[in-house]
Structure 1
Amino acid sequence: MAPRVLISDALSPAAVAIFKERGVDVDFQPEVGKNKDRLAEIIGDFDGLAIRSATKVTAKILERAAKLKVIGRAGIGVDNIDISVATAKGVIVMNTPFGNSITTAEHAIALMFALARQIPSADASTQAGKWEKNRFMGVEITGKTLGVIGCGNIGSIVAERALGLRMRVLAYDPFLSPERALDLGVEKVELDDLLARADIITLHVPMTPQTRNILSAEHLAKTKKGVRIINCARGGLVDEVALRALLDSGHVAGAAFDVFVNEPAIENPLFGHPNVVCTPHLGASTNEAQENVALQIAEQMSDYLTRGAISNAVNFPSITAEEAPKLKPFIALVERLGSFAGQLVETSIKKVTITYEGGVAELKTKALTASAIAGLLRPLLSDVNVVSAPSVAKERGVTIDEVTRAAEGDYESLITLTVATEAHERSVAGTVFHDGKPRIISINGIEVDALVAPTMIYVSNEDKPGFIGRFASMLGNAEVNIATFALGRDREGGSAVALVEVDGSVPDKVLADVKMLPGVKEAKALAF
């Protein structure tokens, strides 16, 4: 049955065509996103939800989204999606971070020119029949210093355009490497230095706890007298009340804002000032950008729903269409290794170390680790999933280490999962042979060779004569049928393990009797 996607906002018809071409059933209801009750009624029928900014994907909506696998936001901002709830439910959240980058960057440059030459007020005056040539004295852009706060995808485009306008560019961005700054031709500086030197400041950062109010009253007071400030990024990056006060005092020469703390902005502290230019969140509003993000989100969602490829997800590692089929058998393996360890754990987990050796180390190990942690936690927390597992582990103080290295043994690919608890440490290792089936090949350092089956019995015991016969007879007498029987030991007379595939469930009494056999250290019924 083909996956179904609901488009609940106004999206380009080209997106509908792409979904259909890729074998996805699509229901185009561009007005339903504004009706949260109606959206809640119908969302349970869909595997995917494609939105823009009008649809609010709240916890209430997500509670009703029983089948939902992916939310696609045509655009950058995901403020209208409850990502923590989506993650907890295992819903991938995707955006299109590059589809409207040029458009937003161009809007920032346009606002810079509008501000420098007072174009909006000059236009209004002229069309009102006035000819106030002497009133609108502007400033040149050439030779001015532009301070770019946030030199990522959009900020770097703005910087390149500004350099083409013969401006000097300062960039404040903790993640900007010196090499990248050199390539762009910008000077990397600290925030206080940028505030003190920039003639024009433009913001291009996401809204995070660290960036909220980045231009606070305190920081605005450090700016150069006569500075002009542009914000095409997110409302709330600038203290609007403090900025208005500095505009009124003449310290700030002008401001151009496309985004506001409260939107739609019916009223705002900046409104009405003669040296302020405002637009209604038009950063991404070009025909090209809307077409680009619509096409991109349709392609991304289709690739995920039909091929398992994940790109531009905000809550899960990316997996290419080429990687997805290669990862699939290893995802099955790590889920089972995690589940095996999770079913043996009886005290709180402190640390998990996952070692990838050989060919598997070249794959997307972050996705594998998420699957392993989901398998590990699921026996303890039934509602955990591959998307939420890493954050759930972090919330519980579990340290997760990934180790990758070249193959050191007989296997082309080997994955070892080691779990440290308050009481002990356990490890289980596995591989995937050419048949694509996951196999456990080591338990706590003891070699075995067992296909993972739906129901198994794990026994750790002393290596003594007669144990296997007594164990097998006990299962037979209880009418528990043995399908496969894998054995291993560290040395003659030392420690041994048995991993037995059985048909059907294992009665509690049988397991209790197995634990009473001489030499048994541990016995567990496992379900995969």
Structure 2
Amino acid sequence: MAPKVLVSDKLSETAVQIFRDRGIDVDYLPDVGKDKEKLAEIIGQYDGLAIRSATKVTPSLLEHATNLKVVGRAGIGTDNVDKEASSKKGVIVMNTPFGNMITTAEHAIAMMFAVARQIPEADASTQAGKWEKSKFMGVELTHKTLGVIGAGNIGGIVCDRARGLKMKVIAFDPFLSEEKAEKMQIEKVELEDLLKRADFITLHVPLTDGTRNILSAENLAKTKKGVRIINCARGGLVDEAALAELLKSGHVAGAAFDVFSEEPAKENPLFGLPNVVCTPHLGASTTEAQENVALQVAEQMSDYLLTGAVSNALNMPSVTAEEAKVMGPWIKVAGHLGNFIGQMTEEPIKAINILYDGEASTMNLEALNCSLIAGIMKPISPEVNMVSAPVIARERGIQISTTRQEQSGAFEGYIKVTVVTTKRERSIAGTVFSDGKPRFIQIKGINIDAEVGEHMLYTTNEDVPGIIGKLGTLLGDHKVNLANFTLGRSAQGAEAIAISYLDEALDDSVVKALKDTGLFRQVKPLEFDQA
């Protein structure tokens, strides 16, 4: 059955057609996003939801979204999506951070020109019949120092454009390496240095706890007299009230803002001040950008629903279509390993330690971790998936550690997981054979070679003669057929384990009969999803 997607905000017809061309059943209802009741009424039918900014993805809406797997936001900002609630429901949240990069960067450059030459005020004056040439004395951008706070995707484009304008570009970005700065032909500096030296300051960082009020009253006071400040990134990065006071005093010569701490901005301390240019969050508002992000979100959502490829997700590691093909068996074995541990563990889990060896260590470990953790959590929370599992683990205070190592044994690669509980440690390792099928290769340090089936039986016993015969006879007496059987032991006469792959699930009477023999220390039926 084809996946079904709802487009609840205005998206281009070309984007909607992408869903259809990819074989996805799509309903284009561009006004339903504004109708909370109607949206809640119909959302349960859909696997995907494509939105812009009008649709609000709230916890209450997600309660009705029983089949929803992915929300795609055509644009960068996802303030209208509750990402924590989405993660708990196992819904991937995607955005399109690259579709409007150039448009936003160009708007920042345009705003810089506008405030440098006082273009909006000069326009209003001239159209009012005045001719005030001497009133609007501007400054050149050439040879001025531009301070860029955040030299990532959009900030990097601004740096490039500014260099083309013959500006001296300095940048503050903790994630910018000296090598990258040299390649961009800009100077990497600390924030204090940028504040002192910049003639223009432009912001290009997301709003986080670390960047909120990065231009605080204290930092604004450290700026060079006559500085001009441009914010086309996010409201809340600048103390607008403090900036207004510095504009009034003349310390700051001008400001150009496309974003505000409260939007829609009906009132703001910057409004009405001389040489302040304001636009209503137009950074991404070009026909090219709106089309680009719409096409991008349609492609991303289609890729995920059809192939499992994940790109530009905010609550899930990205996995390309190529990775999804190669990693499919490894993601499956990671899930089986986790599921074995989850079914065997009854006491609270304190820590999950995961070792990736050889070939497995070269893959997307975040995605493998998500599959493994989901496997562990499923016996406790059946609705859990790769998106929600890390959130649930974090809420429970479970510590997760990951280690990579080069190939260290007979297998080209393997995954080993050790779970630490309040009472014990339990470990299991697995690999993928050349046939693409997952195998368990070690349990509790005992080497085995067990194919993973839907219905399995795990037993432990003292290594003495007659156990295998008794197990087979008892299963046969209960009409249970063995598809595969693997055993191992730690040493002669010590502990032995057996993994039986069965044609059908065991009922309680068989489990009881096995326990009643007194021969087995553990008798545990296991179920593994083969989808």
Shorter-chain TM range is over 0.9
Distance 1:328 1:44 in 2: 28
Paired residues for 1:484-523 under 5 Å: 484-508=484-508, 510-515=510-515, 517-518=517-518, 520-523=520-523
- Secondary structure at 2:390's aligned position in 1? helix
Tell me what 1:38 maps to: 38
Distance 2:305 2:469 in 1: 49
Instruction: Deviation per CA, 1:196-246: give whole Å up to 9, x if none.
Output: 221111110011111111112222222222211111001111111221122
* Contact residue 354 and residue 418 of structure 1 kept, 8 A: yes
- Secondary structure at 2:224's aligned position in 1? coil
Residue 415 of structure 2 corresponds to residue 408 of structure 1: no
Tell me what 1:300 maps to: 300
Structure 1 residue 518, shift from structure 2 partner = 4.2
Instruction: Deviation per CA, 1:321-354: give whole Å up to 9, x if none.
Output: 1121222222221111101011112332232222
Counterpart of 2:235, as a letter, is G
Residue 365 of structure 2 corresponds to residue 344 of structure 1: no
Paired residues for 1:181-220 under 5 Å: 181-220=181-220
Tell me what 1:288 maps to: 288
Residue 463 of structure 2 corresponds to residue 468 of structure 1: no
Paired residues for 1:336-415 under 5 Å: 336-415=336-415
Distance 2:309 2:503 in 1: 35
Distance 1:87 1:391 in 2: 7
Tell me what 2:438 maps to: 438
- Secondary structure at 2:268's aligned position in 1? coil
Distance 2:137 2:192 in 1: 30
* Contact residue 488 and residue 498 of structure 1 kept, 8 A: yes
Counterpart of 1:498, as a letter, is A
Counterpart of 1:446, as a letter, is I
Structure 1 residue 504, shift from structure 2 partner = 4.1
Structure 1 residue 500, shift from structure 2 partner = 1.9
Paired residues for 1:311-350 under 5 Å: 311-350=311-350
- Secondary structure at 2:133's aligned position in 1? coil
Counterpart of 1:360, as a letter, is A
Of the structure 1 ranges 515-524 and 155-164, higher mean CA displacement relative to structure 2 is found in 515-524
Instruction: Deviation per CA, 1:446-500: give whole Å up to 9, x if none.
Output: 1222222222221121101122233334444555444433211122212110112
Tell me what 2:5 maps to: 5
Distance 1:516 1:370 in 2: 39
Residue 306 of structure 2 corresponds to residue 309 of structure 1: no
Instruction: Deviation per CA, 1:356-398: give whole Å up to 9, x if none.
Output: 3333333322211110011012223333221122232233332
Tell me what 1:253 maps to: 253
Tell me what 1:269 maps to: 269
Of the structure 1 ranges 248-257 and 416-425, higher mean CA displacement relative to structure 2 is found in 416-425
Distance 2:169 2:37 in 1: 48
Of the structure 1 ranges 303-312 and 214-223, higher mean CA displacement relative to structure 2 is found in 214-223
Structure 1 residue 510, shift from structure 2 partner = 4.2
* Contact residue 464 and residue 519 of structure 1 kept, 8 A: no
Distance 1:478 1:296 in 2: 56
TM-score (norm 2): 0.95
How much identity, in percent, do the aligned residues show? 62
Instruction: Deviation per CA, 1:66-119: give whole Å up to 9, x if none.
Output: 111111111111111111111111111111111111110110010011001000
TM-score (norm 1): 0.95
Residue 62 of structure 2 corresponds to residue 62 of structure 1: yes
- Secondary structure at 1:283's aligned position in 2? coil
Tell me what 1:26 maps to: 26
Distance 1:391 1:520 in 2: 37
Distance 2:156 2:483 in 1: 61
Counterpart of 1:369, as a letter, is N
Distance 2:409 2:382 in 1: 35
Distance 2:429 2:355 in 1: 9
Distance 1:53 1:158 in 2: 25
- Secondary structure at 2:57's aligned position in 1? coil
- Secondary structure at 1:329's aligned position in 2? helix
- Secondary structure at 2:135's aligned position in 1? coil
* Contact residue 97 and residue 312 of structure 1 kept, 8 A: yes
Tell me what 1:152 maps to: 152
Counterpart of 2:39, as a letter, is L
| Unaligned segments of structure 2, at least 5 residues | none
Distance 1:463 1:297 in 2: 58
* Contact residue 200 and residue 228 of structure 1 kept, 8 A: yes
Counterpart of 2:283, as a letter, is G
Distance 2:383 2:21 in 1: 34
- Secondary structure at 1:322's aligned position in 2? helix
Instruction: Deviation per CA, 1:14-52: give whole Å up to 9, x if none.
Output: 211222221112222222222222211221111111111
Distance 1:199 1:439 in 2: 63
Tell me what 2:166 maps to: 166
* Contact residue 88 and residue 385 of structure 1 kept, 8 A: no
| Unaligned segments of structure 1, at least 5 residues | none
Tell me what 2:232 maps to: 232
- Secondary structure at 1:401's aligned position in 2? strand
Tell me what 1:456 maps to: 456
Of the structure 1 ranges 162-171 and 123-132, higher mean CA displacement relative to structure 2 is found in 162-171
* Contact residue 427 and residue 445 of structure 1 kept, 8 A: yes
* Contact residue 74 and residue 293 of structure 1 kept, 8 A: yes
Counterpart of 1:30, as a letter, is P
Distance 1:32 1:239 in 2: 36
Of the structure 1 ranges 261-270 and 406-415, higher mean CA displacement relative to structure 2 is found in 406-415
Distance 1:452 1:518 in 2: 27
Counterpart of 1:368, as a letter, is L
Counterpart of 1:267, as a letter, is E
Instruction: Deviation per CA, 1:170-195: give whole Å up to 9, x if none.
Output: 21111111111111122212212211
- Secondary structure at 1:134's aligned position in 2? helix
Of the structure 1 ranges 77-86 and 472-481, higher mean CA displacement relative to structure 2 is found in 472-481
Instruction: Deviation per CA, 1:404-433: give whole Å up to 9, x if none.
Output: 333333333322222222322222122222
Counterpart of 1:523, as a letter, is V
Residue 139 of structure 2 corresponds to residue 139 of structure 1: yes
Distance 2:257 2:45 in 1: 40
